Structure 1
Amino acid sequence: MCGISGIYSFDSQKVIDINLLKAMNALIEHRGPDDEGFCLIEKNSHKILPFSGDGSKEDIRQLYPSLNLSARASLGLGFRRLAILDLSMKGHQPMLDPQLNLLIVFNGEIYNYIELRQELIAQGYSFNSESDTEVILKAYDFWGENCVLHFNGIWAFALWDANKSLLFCSRDRFGVKPFYYCRNRDFLYFASEIKQLLLTPVDKSLNLPMIWRSMKINSLEVYGEETFWQEIKALQPGYNLIVDQHGITLKEYYKLNPASFGKSSLSLPEAIEIYRETFEKAVQLQMRSDVEVGSCLSGGLDSSAIVCTASRLTDRPLQTFSAYFPEYPPLDERKWIAEVVHYSGCISYLTAPQAEDAMAWFNDATWFNDLPLGSGFTAQYAVMKLAQENGIKVLLDGQGSDELTAGYRHSFYRFLADLILQTKFHKALKEALAWLKKYGCIKGLSGLAKALLSIFLSEPQLYNFEFRFLRFEPFNQDFLQQCKKSLSEPILAQISDFSSKSVSKFFSQHPIKLNNTRTLTSDNFSKPTCDKLSNFLYNAVYTTSLPTLLHWEDRMSMSASIESRVPFLDHNLVELAFSLPSEYKIHNAQGKYIHRQAIKPLVPTAIFNRKEKSVFGSPFISLWLRGPMKTSYESLITSSTFRNRGIWNLPLIMDNWQKYLKGNNSQAEMLYNIYALEMWFRRFSQKAVI
């Protein structure tokens, strides 16, 4: 929806740098081209002073003076607005409630704001606007920090409680919206994007283990609170950050509970019906907007289900946006897109980006992304630009379903391992034979070998195995030694392994209240274990997949001033999916079984019957690097800038490049990663790393 900036002074004698606040806000105009605003908390009087900015609308300029760069303030908040709800000036931010003495900057949407508004009105609150932002202020006043537990939505906000001289910040349950912060001795800086914090005086030393980790496993480009800079941290999903003169406190308010995994007593037909109803309700809630809502459409089951459901909930044809690559048939979905368009009556807009477009966009897209680009960025970037050109500000997208109901092939390996460990040998044999029939002898036996490996190795050990052996090492020994010196814990330490011991520890740290009468802890369970499939999916949600996908989703959409909404990550649907038995998720070697059965009535038969779908992406590694981008790639890896970087294992890179040119794709992803990281260095860090 928007972008935020903030500076807080811990030292009662020191004032914030207002020029810096203004510069931080200017960097995220793309997140909010509709309006700009600032508020300063005066140092001595503690008055809240609102200001307009260079990007403010005319009515806001008439109402508030221009930002006073010479003011003395202990807190400054900046905001860029993408107007989605209550398009009037009443939706302007920073939003102040003078009666409650509360002030907020908020990026995101509270989808159930109408219901909460009615609940709060019943409690005696009155409202000045139709915005969800004001609902947060009243909800905080009524419920305090627990207000976030009442929200169904996506958010990153900073709320100043003047009565308590306290800054209350929060990020949504699964991290759809970003929030970054850093601090030195005297000041806290926070923002929607990392690039804003690169303007601050905080140390900009790079986090070498983070760079190393992300190169070896693509899906770990986002990892807990870490970023590519040592001193810049991400507020993790499901966390609040509370700031006062004594310092910073981090509080986890939400986490999926392993005690509930697989414990549902619903029959399969009951689960299918409830899953469908929960999904449809999520789409309905996320259609709430005062501007037109469109949707991405890839031709796969997930986006098709969203489009077909959303089309029934709007009084105008839903606009959909798709990318295709005619030169690479696995990524040409036009046939399937046409099926959905005919079935739902939506309007389809198509774009076919070429390698030349990818090269032309690469530098700017890297800047928007803050991190090295994934190889599929071209399709996502092109779709967002297309939606922007057609006047769309909000898009629905299908991220999350694979993590909920076992859509990745690696899910099957854990599932088969579980069946064997549970001595369900007949079921295991049936699934193994179905797998072999589906993938053939060579691919099938390889998958079964991985399933056997999953029996003997924990989840962290499996990822460590991938880290060490899947891809060649692109860095030289000097770089690796520097990485290992700076590691305070194993490089994959945040990957969870829910053994009985670890789940018991989880319960002791996260007691759960049932019916507000008793507390559920490890003492209530004799063997609180979590099967390997659930463990894998839990890690996919919090560590190994979804965080990175959501980062790309946010940056590519906001680069075009578009808010992306993800119905499959409605927390009610996520919790339901994790409560269901593994057998509901994988059946006859096919993942997302309950997901498929639930949305079967919603989509065209041809879409439901599709056997395989390519991963949403672009033909970077399959075609472009050895084709139209070959000269560009070779120019990069033979350049003096690349060689003087001081980190690359040049002989090994050249050897694998030559193998790739001869048709060997086994290391193509790593070769792309090298290109993306070097381009990132040139955009964000001109200095050598070591």
Structure 2
Amino acid sequence: MCGLFASLSRSGPIREDYQRQLDMIAHRGPDGAGIARVDLAGGVAETDRAGRAWLGHRRLSIIDPDPRANQPMAVADDRYVMVYNGEIYNYVELRRECVVAGWSFGTESDSEVLLACWALWGEAAVARFTGMFAFVIVDREAGQAWIGRDAFGIKPLHYALTDDRLIICSEIAPIVSTGRVAIDVDPVQTVEFVRFGASATTDATLIDGIRRLPAATVARFDFATGELSEPRRFWSAATERRKIGFSDAVVECRERFLTNVRLHLRSDVPVGAALSGGLDSSAIVCAIHHLEPDVRLNTFSFISAEPGQSEEKWVDIVNAHIGATAHKVMPQPGDLATDLDRMIAIQGEPFGSASIYAQYRVFAMAREAGVPVTLDGQGADEILAGYWPYVATYGASQLRRGRIDRALRLIAHGGDSMATRFRMAAQLGQALLPAGAVGRYRRALGRSILPEFLNSEWLAANGVHEAAIAGAMLTNYRDMASHLIDTTVRTSLPTLLRIADRSSMAFSVESRVPFLTPDFADFLFSLPPEYIVSPRGDRKHVFREAMRGILPEAIRTRRDKIGFFADDGLWLRSNRASFEQHLGAVAAIPAFDGERTRAYLRGFFDEGRGSAQQVWRIFMFAIWSAKMKGLAG
């Protein structure tokens, strides 16, 4: 895993030096750095070929640490020049295919395999990669460049198409620092973040002129015309239902998951695991032990100091089961003030909850222990229905089919507490409504879509309407598979992956996510819904059965869910003075109504009123905005 920065000229040679921008992502790659000024060999007039691309790379050495594998990398008599971030886990198998096709390799790296596959098969190669990746490949002879991103968007790739450049980077801040992009916030993205904490639901970013390359796509840049093509999709989630018995599905699920974990263990440096004590991370840890029983695994866990929120009991069960070397961190709320400024700068975009700090500290601990690669359970909740709203969607689909008894059984048995059952019943009611009625339903429950502190004049001037926000973020689904797919590819998971990338790379740690491969997701999405959620409301049903004999029974049958939890209210109040230093930044945000926002903050800090998450997002957005304006000069 690494970091990349590239500038492609729409006309004329590039004379700028982007070393400063490359240095801004040095944390992503402390083991090596390289740049290349690329001349074209065709595709444009001979007089227009010099200096048309600037490629920069920061390397975190994971596979083949030899300097020969550093980037930018060129193959095929320098026809193809590449910078790339990520890992191709099936590079061993792809390498064999390339050798059979007559390819000769100079390194043992997955990077060279990626570039060789592109040289041999072109754009079609991308669908054959199992991994996480973002790349820029310049084809000097064709006078074209290609950018691509993995199926789930695990690795980031941002770009800005200016009057004379296509600027591409792993992070947003270096693009902003070029001074070529106006710092105009996207109004819809702003409201979606402040209301829902999501800021990765489309290819738009919070900055109007910077976009994300959508996951599972490639796009072509033509140096002759200076145009970037519409992204072309190489993977879409499967929607066709499979006919398969439950016992066969359990066996296949187990085999596919173990294959994924085995692939994700490929590394030339130490590999550990992030362990929360929940089903997903515990399954990864125990699968590693199942596959490699003689390896003493390092695990890294956040332990909450807040009453009723600690998962240490479950962490200890897993660590004892496999004989792991356990590392634990228990941050106190007051610790946040020390790390807040760097954490916001590293994220590059605002984040919606203090729980991110728990993840941030876990990756810091991994780096301190000398473990630069960790496996993580991210994505399992989205592809295996880990949250109660998925169960509500399933229940609603049963009601639509007249299966009232099944829906009632889900509510009766599906919650781990009476409060959860009531909440799920409300969610089921919402799931039955037409999409246009969701906003009215929430208002009837006293839950407005638009926060009260937003500036109504700003909303009107920017054409931001409650119905549009509700339609984008409060979608009703015809069935559970549609719900799973949407949260995997559009709503919640993209934001979580973006945050995990920044948190891990802040400490030069590669975070791998074995649940997220296209074939595993397609397999799960194609199963009957009762295999994912049992008639009694057991989430991740088929996976729990697949882990029988691998996981301790106490973990496999556990029904409650906590995860990396942090009480936003407690952490805000414990660091009140640190946050209130930024009231000036809050006042400078035109989206916020000054008087109402001040009243909202006073009500929260002095009287305990309002939403802690909303207060957190007010400050995060304001601090982030001030940092971006500072970068742009």
TM-score relative to the length of structure 1: 0.84
2:413/2:537 contact within 8 Å kept: yes
Q: Of 424, 434, 440, which residue of structure 2 is paired with 1:457? A: 434
Matches of 1:651 and 1:320, distance apart in 2: 48
Moved more, 176-185 or 591-600: 591-600
Of 113, 121, 124, the match for 1:146: 124
With over 3 angstroms needed to count, the CA separation of the structure-2 counterparts of 1:165 and 1:645, relative to structure 1, is closer
Checking the alignment, whether the CA contact within 8 Å between 2:311 and 2:562 is kept in structure 1 is: no
Cα distance in 2, alignment partners of residues 423 and 310 from structure 1: 44
Q: Which residue does 1:632 correspond to in 2?
A: 578
Superposed counterparts of 1:295-306, under 5 Å: 295-306=273-284
Supply the AA of the counterpart residue of 1:239.
T
Instruction: Work out which of the residue numbers 387, 399, 402 in structure 2 matches 1:423.
Output: 402
State the shift of 1:605 in Å: 1.7
Q: How does 1:95-174 map to 2 (within 5 A)?
A: 95-99=73-77, 101-174=79-152
Cα distance in structure 1, aligned partners of 2:398 and 2:235: 27
Residues 41, 141 of structure 2: 8 Å contact kept: no
Residue 485 of structure 2 is aligned to residue 532 of structure 1: no
Q: Determine if contact 2:276/2:302 at 8 Å carries over to the other structure.
A: yes
1:18 and 2:36 aligned: no
Q: Is the 1:300–1:336 Cα contact (8 Å) retained in structure 2? A: yes
Superposition pairs for residues 225-624 of structure 1, below 5 Å?
Answer: 225-244=203-222, 245-246=224-225, 247-257=227-237, 259-260=239-240, 263-314=241-292, 315-326=294-305, 328-373=306-351, 374-435=353-414, 438-440=416-418, 443-458=420-435, 462=438, 469=448, 472-484=451-463, 490-491=468-469, 531-587=478-534, 588-621=536-569, 623-624=570-571
Secondary structure of the residue aligned to 1:567 is coil
In 2, Cα distance between the equivalents of 1:185 and 1:634? 40
* Alpha-carbon distance, 1:453 to partner: 2.3
State the aligned residue count.
Answer: 619
The equivalent of 1:668 in structure 2 is 612
What is aligned with 2:51?
73
Q: Secondary structure at the match of 1:109?
A: strand
> Within 1, Cα distance between the matches of 2:328 and 2:475?
43
CA distance in 2, matches of 1:293, 1:113: 18
Which amino acid is 2:459 matched to?
L
Please give the secondary structure, in 1, of the residue aligned with 2:565: coil
Q: How far 1:666 sits from its partner (Å)?
A: 5.9
CA shift, 1:657, in A, is: 4.2
* Separation (CA, whole Å) in 1 of partners of 2:128 and 2:235: 15
Alignment partners' CA distance in 2, 1:464 and 1:36:
54
Distance 1:464 1:256, change over 3 A: farther
SS of equivalent to 1:329: coil
Counterpart position of 2:32: 35
Q: Which runs of 5+ in 1 are unaligned?
A: 48-70, 499-529
Counting aligned pairs with the same residue, the percent is 29
Cα distance per residue 1:236-266 (max 9 Å; x no partner): 0011011112211123233434541xx1111
CA distance in 2, matches of 1:463, 1:157: 40
In structure 1, C-alpha distance between the alignment counterparts of 2:442 and 2:249, rounded to whole Å: 35
Report SS of the residue matched to 2:627.
helix
Change (3 A) 1:376 1:450: same
The within-5 A match list for 1:41-60 is 41-42=38-39
Kindly tell me: are residues 616 and 477 of structure 1, through their superposed partners in 2, closer, same or farther at Cα, counting changes over 3 Å? same
CA shift in 2, pair 1:659/1:470, >3 Å: farther
CA positional deviation for 1:466: 6.1
Residue 178 (structure 1) aligned with residue 156 (structure 2): yes
Q: Is the 8 A contact 1:495 1:543 kept in 2?
A: no
Alpha-carbon separation, structure 1, partners of 2:598 and 2:184: 29
* Matched residue type, 1:307: V
Aligned-partner residue type, residue 250 of structure 1? E
Tell me the residue number matched to 1:642: 586
2:442 and 2:230 mapped to 1: Cα distance? 32
Residue identity in the other structure for 1:560: F
Partner of 1:52 in structure 2? none
Q: Secondary structure at the match of 2:37?
A: strand
Q: Indicate if the aligned counterparts of 1:378 and 1:617 stay in contact, CA closer than 8 A.
A: no
Deviations 1:629-655 (A, max 9, x none): 23434554xx44433444423444455
Query: Once the 2 structures are TM-superposed, how far is the Cα of residue 43 of structure 1 from its aligned partner?
Result: 6.6
- In the alignment, structure 2 segments of 5+ residues that lack a partner are none
- Native 8 Å contact 2:412 2:421 kept in 1: no
**2:624 corresponds to:** 680
1:675 CA displacement: 1.9
Root-mean-square deviation (CA, aligned residues, Å) is 2.7
TM-score for both structures, normalised by structure 2: 0.92
Q: How far apart are the structure 2 equivalents of 1:321 and 1:257?
A: 32
Residues 1:464 and 1:153: Cα distance change in structure 2 (over 3 Å): farther
Please say which of residues 286-295 and 476-485 is displaced more in the overlay: 476-485
What is the Cα deviation at residue 18 of structure 1? 3.1
Matches of 1:26 and 1:618, distance apart in 2 = 32
Q: CA separation of 1:87/1:44 partners in 2, compared to 1, >3 Å: closer, same or farther?
A: closer
- 1:687: Cα distance to partner? 11
- What CA distance in whole angstroms lies between the structure 1 residues aligned with 2:475 and 2:586? 39
